[in-house]
Amino acid sequence: MTLPSFYPIFDDVRWLHRTLPLGVKLVQLRIKDQPQDVLRQQLAEGRDLCRAHGATLVVNDYWELAIDLGCDWIHLGQEDLDTADTPAIRAAGLKLGVSTHDRAELDRALALNPDYVALGPVYPTILKKMKWHQQGLEKLTEWKALIGDIPLVAIGGMSVERAQGAFDAGADIVSAVTDITLNDDPEGRTESWLKVCK
């Protein structure tokens, strides 16, 4: 299965109502600091919305809920890997994406035979405080050489204007967060993304 090359990440299912009708086909729900009942409701709604629109939903972190709700994809950060039961995730048939920042983390990810590898932040990001400030486009090229046919996701400080540079450097997929959510016209920005990520 070839994944779409545009991969927005949202913190609330309301964003899916706004962007899936525009043609988004790969999306992540990364919901933080919500009670379990709200999480379950958001993820179930996101699952159903994505299926109705022929899109792929990736659940960030909450692998037990993802299994329980019959979701198809899970994304795990390095901290999540410390506690996640990856054999259970695989036994449930979920596909797996993993965040990486350095070679040790990449080796750890590759040992899990992931369905995609994410590298970030490619550019400085305002989204979260990280010890990695900026990986740069060269790191994308290096990572792609190391992972071969596994899809490579570029994340962190990505914008419509920077997308082509990431693709040229070796990324298969470009992920956006604040470039959409903080834009004055999120729908218009999403449409611009879809044009550059053909």
pLDDT (mean) for 57-85: 97
Query: Taking 70 as the threshold, does the pLDDT of residue 185 lie above it?
Result: yes
* 64-91 mean pLDDT: 96
Instruction: Please confirm, yes or no, whether 30 is among the known catalytic residues.
Output: yes
Residue 130 has pLDDT above 60, yes or no: no
Using an 8 Å Cβ cutoff, are 23 and 5 in contact?
no
| Domains, the chain, ordered by start | 6-196 (3.20.20.70)
Residue 134 has a pLDDT of 84
Known active-site residue 47:
no
Question: CB-based burial of residue 185 (10 Å sphere; 0-12 exposed, 13-18 middle, 19+ buried)?
Answer: exposed
Q: Which of 5, 47, 95, 99 is catalytic?
A: 99
The verdict on whether 128 is a catalytic residue reads yes
